[in-house]
Chain A
Amino acid sequence: MTTDRRPAGSVLAELAAILGRVTGREQVAVITPETALFGGGVGLDSLTGTLLLVEVQHRFGVDVAAADLNLDCLATLATLAAFVSERLPVRDSR
């Protein structure tokens, strides 16, 4: 059995690009993986947070809002990348 699971690093890079797009700020795409998404530098809110979740579902097929009711995985880009990587649909090629 093989999987098309991508390394967490590439998920992280894609998430950073998505975050830059939904916030409309390119500099957000170069924040560190440990920067808090809520408040402070990124300031994720209801609107930008929803857009981020929509893009994550489109791109990775992971419904974050249904799987993490408290949205704890939105703490940082690193926690979101780990959450998404663990749940990437696995292609079974038997």
Chain B
Amino acid sequence: MIKCVVWDIDNTLLAGTYLESGARPPGPDPELLGVLRELDHRGIVHALASKNPPEAADYVATVTGVPFAAAECGWGRKSDALRRIIDDLGLGADAVAFVDDDLLERAEVAAALPEVLVLLPEDAADAPSWPEFSPAVITAEGRRRGEMYAQRRRRQEEARAFGGSRDDFLRRACTEVLIAPAGLGDVPRLHELSVRTHQFNTASAPVSEGELASLHGSAGHRLVAVRLRDRFGDDGIVGGALIDRGEANDSGVPPDPGAARSWTVSLLMMSCRALGRGVLDALLAALCQRAVADGAGELRIPCLVTDRNVPLRLALAAAGFRAGAAAQPGQPATFGRSLTEPPPGLPDWATVADGP
């Protein structure tokens, strides 16, 4: 359960940059202002960690009208600012969420304080509907999440003490990634992931439950669910993919017989909680192998190129995917991989179940 949210100021709580706006600093981001007030009503405490002079914190408190239990303004590492806030408030790091628009700040905090829930501003906009931000509603899922945080802490402690390679640790933890055709019962969770995932999501918009359910039954498509567990715990469905097989479409129009068929992954997504556990490598390798088995010559993954999905681009690069030379930051690009070259090997912790 999250008890305190630590917010960045520039381009997060404020709709702009405090210092670069002259005499009149920008106002609060309207959506996050609503989140601030709602979480405050629920008894969740707010704090600030910002690379700004201390006046910025006073300004934010004034324009939002929300109390902040702690404010760390300065130019040091954000993980140090969070440590001081956590000590001041007497909290466990696993009761703290950190929201920042900057990839580097998020990565620095995530690496130094792995128990802290690190979120993008877009994630935080959804936060009031999440069980870990809903102390009044103790759902089964909420209780399970509490247990999952405990499992994650045990896993991280052991990983830090281990010292071998990541792959050796995944084997030692008895990691199992199961990649299988999604059942209709998996559709609500896949929809939830399509809404909640941002750092590991290739689509520009969420996919509705109705759309997922109809594509689930379509011969021209494949809907895949990815499950993850190890000896520390079972995370359930942590990822998914939606594939257009590039065959005759549902209206019965045959494809050009001379053209090489390609699989197009219209949605590839993974929960950021599964980061560093070999899930994306396994999923990309499995998709390549299934596409080869289906007779496709190429696997294509359209994806907007942003500074937010750098971790996803790293996984694509590692699996041999490349975008065209014309790709530009902030623009849609298609990452492709020829399947005439041998596909990446399936890691030994992954299992691929056959389709129907």
Contact = CB atoms under 8 A, between A and B. Distances in A.
Interface centre among A43, A47, A57, A74 (most CB of B within 10 A): A47
A50 B333 contact: no
Contact of B104 (A44, A54, A72): A54
Contacts of A70: 313, 317, 322-323, 327
Nearest to A74: B317
Interface in A1-34: 23-25
A62 B314 CA distance: 17
Interface string B312-324: 1111011000110
B67 interface: no
Given A47-B275, A70-B323, A54 B108 contact: yes
Contact of B163 (A25, A43, A57): A25
A51 B79 CA distance: 14
Nearest to A57: B104
Given A46-B275, A54-B104, A69 B165 contact: no
Nearest to B345: A39
A50 B315 contact: no
Contact of B281 (A45, A53, A71, A72): A45
Interface stretch (B15-23, B129-137, B229-237, B303-311): B303-311
A8 B280 CA distance: 33
A74 B317 CA distance: 9
Interface residues of B, number: 34
A25 B162 CA distance: 10
A81 to B, nearest CB: 18
A48 interface: yes
Interface residues of A, number: 25
A33 to B, nearest CB: 19
B123 interface: no
Interface in B259-283: 275-276, 278, 280-281
17 contacts: A38-B317, A39-B344, A44-B318, A45-B281, A45-B315, A46-B200, A46-B275, A46-B311, A47-B276, A50-B310, A50-B311, A54-B103, A54-B104, A65-B307, A69-B313, A71-B314, A71-B317
Given A46-B311, A46-B314, A47-B276, 17 more contacts: A38-B318, A44-B314, A45-B281, A46-B280, A46-B315, A47-B311, A48-B166, A48-B276, A50-B103, A50-B107, A54-B104, A54-B107, A54-B108, A66-B329, A69-B305, A69-B327, A70-B323
